[in-house]
Structure 1
């Protein structure tokens, strides 16, 4: 059974509209309990009181007071505004005893809004409460979305109260327009180390403003969450869904305006100074501000106007009637100095117009300079300059101007976009000297994004290697930080492995080995030959680019970390890509260079098998490519999973050698893995190894039969393994964790 979240304080939410005017269709119920229901919503399924059946609501009068629900379902509504709705939330929970056994659980939560005009508001945060818990959330918003959050701590003294800091409480954002989600809650050690002050873990999607983490009090008092008492709601955005634009629909009535939303559909709203229902005739009516002066300040004579009001001093007084004591009585016998005022006005206007022409362009230029200086500081420019001047740091970074990059990208035109990443959008730019560059523009402007930008600049200024994407410069004068790289034109390694369209691909066995050697050499350089070792932290085939000569280039250092020379590991928040993520790093948060080795092992497995890191078509324990590959090598079934072309072109020694190397790279313990330098040397040796094709070294009939079975059919008609980002269980196989099959309740 799902655990329902409701509101902490109803006073914090917008109050319902007054039950006056054209709030609903004639003859339709407008009140349910303490809530007022306005059109396009309507009370009663099939009653015809709403715009359509997706806006039908049900009022259950068996409760005191009566409660309101969406449609004929069980999602309780607590308030409705002109763009949002607050409803009960669903929570996943698990409680344990001192022996690590589950005493109470409801670890799966599911919420589906696909056939409704609703979507989950970005005011919600996915929250995990607990000291030994992690939860995964996945859903759809026009595409697939997945994320997760850890709540970790070891003792109660470490847990701060009053806010969710990541210690005992973790929060992560959701994308705009999310229509469905499901979440799964798990524990790392079944609370055996924290059960004295934390028996239960919880995960939910709810309004960030309505939730305040109380620290140890929340960790030790599970009844605060496992109860039907009000706690925290989920906020939904609602729109009028239509295939037409707002203007084409022409649905907004008098004295109102319509606006298209960025989550699809549109909304109508009353113009300033008007109130009422913009969806029903005659539309919105004028607000008489003078009758109710609670929202205005007028200490004189108030005169209502259409959509506004005038406030003047009473006769016999002069001054500003909008401020207390602003109106003062006129002196007896005084006359308005018309002549003085006229002359002053004429000379004043002449002086203003003359001065305006002279200073207009100067003021505009000064404002632009100050704005760019503000962006420069906001984007970490001062800190970056200090770092670039530090000993051992390269200063060969070109500072591009805003005008240069806007011109190079045709003002960041959509048709210049060549890629979208986790931290920004990449544009193709053409500089005045006709050179082509890649321009990466961050998506957000906040402290974390500025730090991400500076981190990438500092790392790339230290790297000079032919197989690492070269940083040419940056621009700090825009609202978002921008990086300028050399342009790599031949797509990613992932694309060439998994998106072939007939014909003979260039990706032969020899080329696969060459790309692997180049990528391994670049990572080995980052680990051991830079001034300070660099751990990439997000090695995957989509971050290995190929230039015109199909030379491998390591890219995307947004998640990388520098390692001090006196440390062999660093503690960080877990970051990476499922399917490539090191399970040891996932469990311990201890990042080492062996984490990159594991991820590169997955890339090697992709190269030799032609299969994606996560696959739904294999059995549960084999959905993860790393697990599948290691199992095949241990069971002497390597040649059954090798891509047919690789099997034809490679030699027995090469394939066996590479299989053994990948198995060692994919060891669950970092100490058992080779270094990237060792990996690069072994790959170089395999590339040089020249023997007869492995099939010619097999003399018995069984071996020849195996080759024949594997090579049946056209080499380029071999279907690719489909990839589903919704198959989270594949990653949990690598981390030695098992998740129950997702199913709605």
Structure 2
């Protein structure tokens, strides 16, 4: 059935509305608490339910057939069932105007994987009873994808037959919201006034292309449910209520909460005036002494005690006077109280004036003129104390409002910074809960002296890093990211937190926790004291020279971290931003990889991730730049650039007037022209043999191969570098093979540009990006 046809059909039934229900509370009236609740000698309770007349249990204990109650003691506690033919519900509560019942009336429509559809229709029949379905306390609810419910019923005449209904659709683009039923996965509608019975039927809806669009949630199998119940008794769970595995769970939840509110009255199709006029044995007037008769909208009447009286208005002798003057909290007078039938009078003794009411002026002592001076002093003192108290109260309220405003702002920041997304991830993976601590703003403000400038370790394009000390004395680095302004940034931040929580490797900076209550999200990392590799090999004012052996160890550490990310972590991770400014050095000058803001986790059987091009100019894999497909070999390429930096001491983008500003192109050109020795860092040449740095240069050359399929894996690179570390190659009197000697021959300063070099002219990222913890991105 197409939507256009369906809307036409439902428009013929009347207006279709979608409302969100609120909890309905039936307030007990005094006919339940009085001593004359039931007829003399009749059972007063069934289980926990009080049965007031005109309802009753047993012969001559109720008004007429439909007011009769059967107390079924086979249940524990016993349950009360009305004497109505074909009814299948028990009574949970009775008040002066309504009863609440528990039903099993539900309509369903289920489709299996073969396309077979089964239907279940819900029916309720109370025609001829004193009960009508409350149209204000109940709601029609439909749960499911692309279905519509038709709700038909009537009052006590055929002319009152009516239909209504609502449509529940599902969208591939939009997620249903838990607790809301605007028609997306869940819809609600009310019913016309005065129905005594109804039928609920469910039908499928096809979209404009003729396809039942539920693939996002249900594949080829689905179940939808429609039911009529008390407002707020069922809370829609969102997308989880629409998934294949939850059909039976949702149905069971509905069945446990199928409570319905019914209105009741005496003698349908009559009125107070008519019954008073007739007052025959067949149609007696039931309102007793001190009561009033109230006409109901359904066409009957009810009895109620007059103001000042209490009791059961349907039982003789009727309602009795309430003695308001009995001492206690219900006494309305401050001093003297005189009770009268249905009323009372308050008065003040001699020497006092006023109305004597607790809700009014009360009784005020009359003061003579001789005490006027004392009165003025007392009045002044009272005013002064009143002003002081008022100021204290105002300050107290101001403090509370300010505190609530802070709490509200924290909640807004938490949601904007991806807190809900992080909570979902933590709920789905307990290992994330164990690995990540959620810090409060106050903890991190104390740790950084409220983020004063003296604590700043570095600033970058993506945030500022502060040095802090936690309450237990641990030194940490606290990264204050840029304020999140869109959903993509929120996802990137949560992505980095989740990825780092799954990494446990000595050469990866450890994330200790995060804080999302601050205006800008905060991340707490272990403190790495010796800055970035970029600073040590490129800064002319570096106080510490990185030796060749240290460079080899750093390369080995970085290779080990990437090999772990690619091959040994629980899920493969592509770092996507390998560069010297993202490599931190600890107190032993061992490397730790940082800044996972652009990292991407992939499935074990997935070879690449197709994303928008991100990274730092000079380190980007050319194939990734051209095709937008990032693989583990893209990280290998960036690692090769870092190896060349370690060999040459040059930056990835060289500050030079030469044509070749790309370090990669410059290095490959010298490799091809056998002039490698011209560009090797003098510190390296002094400390090691040509054979050693030739091996490392050849590894870098293979990592920088333009064909990613010919690049080695990081595991292979790690093994080769560790082999070099374990060797102690002689530095002198060794013969180098002719090809090796040719590669190291010193030549004049010429520039050679070969087809194998690759120079990126345009890039969205600058090589000036700084590290996550010392100079953050």
Q: Which category describes the TM-score, using the shorter chain as reference length?
A: 0.3 to 0.5
Question: TM-score by structure 1 length?
Answer: 0.47
| Structure of larger gyration radius | 2
